[in-house]
Amino acid sequence: MLFILLFHDHQDKLAIRQQHMAAHLDWLSQHQQQIRVAGSLRTEPEQAPLGACWIVEADSKSAVSALIATDPFWQHGLRASVEILHWSKAFPDQYIPV
Protein backbone atom coordinates (compact mmCIF):
# COMPACT_ATOMS: atom_id res chain seq x y z
CA MET A 1 0.00 0.00 0.00
CA LEU A 2 1.05 3.57 -0.58
CA PHE A 3 0.82 6.30 2.02
CA ILE A 4 1.30 10.06 1.92
CA LEU A 5 2.87 11.48 5.08
CA LEU A 6 2.58 15.16 5.92
CA PHE A 7 4.89 16.26 8.70
CA HIS A 8 4.60 19.55 10.58
CA ASP A 9 7.71 20.71 12.40
CA HIS A 10 8.08 22.70 15.60
CA GLN A 11 9.20 26.07 14.24
CA ASP A 12 11.03 26.91 17.46
CA LYS A 13 13.23 23.79 17.12
CA LEU A 14 14.97 24.44 13.79
CA ALA A 15 18.35 23.91 15.47
CA ILE A 16 17.35 20.24 15.87
CA ARG A 17 17.00 20.03 12.07
CA GLN A 18 20.52 21.33 11.57
CA GLN A 19 22.01 19.22 14.34
CA HIS A 20 20.49 15.92 13.12
CA MET A 21 20.28 16.50 9.34
CA ALA A 22 23.18 14.16 8.49
CA ALA A 23 21.73 11.35 10.62
CA HIS A 24 18.27 11.94 9.14
CA LEU A 25 19.58 11.80 5.54
CA ASP A 26 21.53 8.63 6.35
CA TRP A 27 18.40 7.11 7.88
CA LEU A 28 16.35 8.04 4.78
CA SER A 29 18.97 6.38 2.59
CA GLN A 30 18.79 3.20 4.66
CA HIS A 31 14.98 3.09 4.20
CA GLN A 32 14.62 4.11 0.56
CA GLN A 33 12.97 0.80 -0.33
CA GLN A 34 9.98 1.95 1.74
CA ILE A 35 10.33 5.73 1.59
CA ARG A 36 9.91 6.28 -2.14
CA VAL A 37 9.93 10.09 -2.10
CA ALA A 38 10.84 12.47 0.72
CA GLY A 39 11.48 16.18 1.01
CA SER A 40 10.92 19.30 3.06
CA LEU A 41 8.04 21.72 2.53
CA ARG A 42 8.51 25.51 2.48
CA THR A 43 6.34 28.47 1.55
CA GLU A 44 9.30 29.99 -0.35
CA PRO A 45 12.55 28.26 -1.43
CA GLU A 46 14.75 30.41 0.81
CA GLN A 47 12.62 30.02 3.94
CA ALA A 48 13.05 27.45 6.70
CA PRO A 49 11.13 24.19 6.24
CA LEU A 50 7.68 23.98 7.80
CA GLY A 51 7.65 20.20 7.61
CA ALA A 52 7.93 17.48 5.01
CA CYS A 53 6.04 15.25 2.60
CA TRP A 54 6.86 11.60 2.00
CA ILE A 55 5.45 8.81 -0.13
CA VAL A 56 5.88 5.52 1.70
CA GLU A 57 5.15 1.95 0.65
CA ALA A 58 4.21 -0.31 3.55
CA ASP A 59 1.87 -3.15 4.48
CA SER A 60 -0.10 -1.11 7.01
CA LYS A 61 -0.49 2.23 8.72
CA SER A 62 0.98 0.73 11.89
CA ALA A 63 4.10 -0.28 9.92
CA VAL A 64 4.43 3.34 8.76
CA SER A 65 4.11 4.56 12.35
CA ALA A 66 6.78 2.11 13.48
CA LEU A 67 9.10 3.30 10.70
CA ILE A 68 8.63 6.98 11.59
CA ALA A 69 9.47 6.26 15.22
CA THR A 70 13.04 5.40 14.21
CA ASP A 71 13.69 8.64 12.29
CA PRO A 72 16.22 10.89 14.08
CA PHE A 73 14.02 13.95 13.44
CA TRP A 74 11.11 12.21 15.21
CA GLN A 75 13.26 10.86 18.02
CA HIS A 76 14.81 14.26 18.78
CA GLY A 77 11.54 16.20 18.78
CA LEU A 78 11.66 18.21 15.53
CA ARG A 79 8.32 16.88 14.31
CA ALA A 80 5.23 18.40 15.92
CA SER A 81 2.86 16.02 14.16
CA VAL A 82 2.39 13.71 11.20
CA GLU A 83 -0.68 12.91 9.15
CA ILE A 84 -0.59 9.43 7.58
CA LEU A 85 -2.99 9.07 4.66
CA HIS A 86 -3.72 6.06 2.45
CA TRP A 87 -3.04 7.02 -1.16
CA SER A 88 -4.84 5.56 -4.14
CA LYS A 89 -3.05 6.53 -7.34
CA ALA A 90 -5.37 7.57 -10.16
CA PHE A 91 -3.05 5.87 -12.67
CA PRO A 92 -1.62 2.92 -10.71
CA ASP A 93 0.47 1.55 -13.59
CA GLN A 94 2.07 4.89 -14.45
CA TYR A 95 5.63 5.36 -13.19
CA ILE A 96 6.91 8.89 -12.84
CA PRO A 97 10.56 9.33 -11.78
CA VAL A 98 11.03 12.10 -9.27
What are 24-51's pLDDT values in tens digits? 999 999 999 999 999 999 999 999 999 9
| pLDDT attached to residue 92 | 81
Q: Is the Cβ–Cβ distance between 6 and 64 less than 8 Å?
A: no
pLDDT at 89: 85
Q: What is the enclosing helix (H) or strand (E) of 3? A: strand 2-9
| pTM listed for this prediction | 0.91
Side-chain-side CA neighbours of residue 6 (13 Å) = 5
CATH topology of domain 2-49+64-87: Alpha-Beta Plaits (3.30.70)
% of the chain beyond a pLDDT of 90: 89
pLDDT at residue 98 is higher than 70: no
Cα distances from 38 to residues 6, 12, 43, 55, in angstroms, run 10, 22, 17, 7
